[in-house]
Structure formats: structure tokens, C-alpha cells
């Protein structure tokens, strides 16, 4: 549980870190720097655990497409959303990925939606509507339709990535390192063809390094340790509900974003939908235990 709390604490800072870093550099530049840092960190961990030989020998066929989805496509779309939207809105919209996964599992894995799934989706996406319209729920003119579209597209990419990885037998650290090994060269080419390598000062460098170390690196490792050490995954997954309120406070005090009433209402609806979905899973998990 302490590992899980550590991961959630770090994830609570990432909305603020994204907004600070994007104040210095473009989404592509931030993506490249953060990915490079995360690739180096996870590579050290893979080597220390004696998994480097395995990582070099096999698993690259899966990594070839998985690395293009995550980190390349997912984080470029997510950073694009954070670049256009207030951090609080992008963060809240991104939390609907679990519901996107439930709906995508129907055509991809043959799962069936329950009435609880549908109800949870209606509640959560009502929250999305409140946030997207900034409280003007009867007005179909979104405040930033492209930003909202990017935020929702990131949830689809994230959910699709995990569903397609359902049969991925690579150890998590090996998979993460291989994916970044594919992603970093692609991002380097995109960067050189686009804005190129530019210096944005020590503050910009520090913000990018922080994102790579903590959002993509250390938090991932802590979460994996938490999931593998508890008797029931649901006990740890419920900790994620602690992150949004802390994220809002950090955005308010550090970035200076005023907390919009529409964000609060929308976030309550999104978390309510997620909570309903979690409540549906809990009895089944308890029975299995």
C-alpha cells in the first residue's frame, strides 16, 4: 500500500509538471526529453535486475508496435491536450480511460457490458460534457474542441494499448524499456524534422527531466511493485481516487490556475462513474479471493 501511495503521490504532481514544462517547450520537445530520461532510468533498472540479456534477445516484435502507441502516440496526444487546455480539465478528462477500456473491450475481447457499466459511463461522460462546455451544459459550443478531442483521444489510445497488451508476456520493466527503445529514435527523427533541438534554460530542462523520472519512470515502478505485493489489486487501484484532489490543489498553488466550478462538478461525476465501476468489480474479486 505504501508503494501504491508513493505512485499516486507522484502522479498527483504530473498535471502541474506538464503545465510547467509546456510553458518552456513544445509537446514534441517535452516528449523527447522525458522519454530519453525514462529510457535511461528503466534501462538501469533492467540491467540491475539481470534482465538486460532477455530484453536484448526477444520481445522486439511486440515492442515495434507497442512503442509507437506508448510512449509516442499516447503522450504526444496527451501533451497536446495539456498544451491547449487548463491542466485541471486535461487531468480530469484523462481519468475516463478506464471507462474507455470497458467499452473497447466489447468489440476487441468479446466482453459484455453490464447495466452498471452503462450507468457508470453515462455518469462519467456527463462529467466530461460539463468540463468540455465549462458549465454551459446546454451549449454545444465547446470552449476548446480540439483540446477536448485530444484529451479524449488520449484515453482511447491508453485503453487500446492495454487491451492489445493483454497477452503480452514480457516482464513489465523489460516491456517498458523496449517500448521506449523504439519510441526514442522515432521521437528524435520527428524532433529533428520539426522544431529541432533547442535550449530552454535550466528550468525547462528540470521540468522535462522531472516528467521523465517520475511520471514515466519511478511512478510506474512503484505501481508495479504495489500491484504485485498486495493480495487484491482492487485495494491498490482504489488509491488512484486520491490523486485528482491533490492535483487540483497543486495546479492552484503552483501554476496559479483558478479551480473552475465546472471542473469540480465534472470531476465529481467522472470519479463517481469510476467508483461505480470499481464497486461492480469488488464483489467478484472478493469471491475469487
pLDDT band for position 282 (50/70/90)? low
Q: Where are the domains of the chain?
A: 1-281
For residues 93-100, give the mean pLDDT. 83
The pLDDT of residue 288 is 47
C-alpha cell belonging to residue 265? 462538478
For residues 144-157, give the mean pLDDT. 90
Q: What is the total residue count of the chain?
A: 289
Higher pLDDT, 234 or 114: 114
DSSP 115-155: HHHHHHHHHHHHHHHHHHTTT-TT----SSHHHHHHHHHHH
Q: Are 78 and 144 in contact (CB under 8 A)?
A: no
The pLDDT of residue 278 is 73
The pLDDT of residue 159 is 87
DSSP 23-84: TTS-HHHHHHHHHHHHHHHHHHHHHHTT-HHHHHHS-HHHHHHHHIIIIIIHHHHHHHHHHH
For residues 95-121, give the mean pLDDT. 82
Query: pTM of the prediction?
Result: 0.84
User: Reduced to 3 states, what is the DSSP secondary structure of residue 242?
Assistant: helix
pLDDT tens, position by position, 41-67: 999 999 999 999 989 988 899 899 999
The pLDDT of residue 238 is 67
pLDDT tens, position by position, 205-217: 998 999 999 888 8
Higher pLDDT, 19 or 114: 19
The pLDDT of residue 141 is 64
Q: Are 128 and 263 in contact (CB under 8 A)?
A: no
Q: Which residue, among 264, 154, 193, 213, has the nearest Cα to 28 in the 3D structure?
A: 193
pLDDT at 281 over 70: no
Q: Which residue, among 107, 67, 90, 74, has the nearest Cα to 19 in the 3D structure?
A: 90
Amino acid at each position: 500500500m505504501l508503494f501504491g501511495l508513493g505512485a499516486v503521490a507522484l502522479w498527483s504532481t504530473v498535471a502541474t509538471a506538464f503545465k510547467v514544462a509546456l510553458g518552456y517547450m513544445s509537446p514534441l520537445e517535452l516528449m523527447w526529453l522525458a522519454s530519453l530520461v525514462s529510457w535511461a532510468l528503466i534501462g538501469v533498472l533492467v540491467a540491475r535486475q539481470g534482465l538486460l540479456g532477455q530484453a536484448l534477445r526477444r520481445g522486439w516484435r511486440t515492442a515495434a508496435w507497442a512503442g509507437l502507441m506508448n510512449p509516442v502516440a499516447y503522450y504526444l496526444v496527451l501533451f497536446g491536450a495539456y498544451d491547449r487546455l487548463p491542466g485541471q480539465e486535461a487531468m480530469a478528462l484523462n481519468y475516463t480511460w478506464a471507462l474507455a477500456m470497458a467499452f473497447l473491450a466489447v468489440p476487441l475481447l468479446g466482453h459484455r457490458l453490464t447495466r452498471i457499466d452503462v450507468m457508470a459511463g453515462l455518469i462519467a461522460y456527463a462529467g466530461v460534457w460539463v468540463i468540455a462546455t465549462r458549465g454551459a451544459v446546454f451549449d454545444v459550443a465547446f470552449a476548446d474542441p480540439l483540446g477536448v478531442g485530444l484529451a479524449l483521444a488520449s484515453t482511447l489510445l491508453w485503453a487500446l494499448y492495454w487491451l492489445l497488451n493483454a497477452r503480452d508476456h514480457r516482464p513489465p520493466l523489460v516491456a517498458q524499456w523496449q517500448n521506449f527503445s523504439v519510441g526514442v529514435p522515432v521521437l528524435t527523427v520527428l524532433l529533428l524534422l520539426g522544431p529541432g533541438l533547442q535550449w530552454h534554460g535550466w528550468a525547462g530542462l528540470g521540468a522535462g527531466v522531472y516528467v521523465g523520472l517520475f511520471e514515466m519512470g519511478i511512478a510506474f515502478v512503484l505501481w508495479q511493485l504495489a500491484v504485485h505485493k498486495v493480495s487484491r489489486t482492487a485495494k491498490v487501484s482504489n488509491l488512484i481516487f486520491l490523486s485528482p484532489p491533490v492535483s487540483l490543489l497543486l495546479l492552484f498553488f503552483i501554476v496559479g490556475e483558478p479551480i473552475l466550478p465546472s471542473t469540480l462538478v465534472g470531476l465529481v461525476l467522472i470519479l463517481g462513474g469510476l467508483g461505480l465501476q470499481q464497486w461492480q468489480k469488488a464483489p467478484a474479486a472478493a469471491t475469487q479471493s
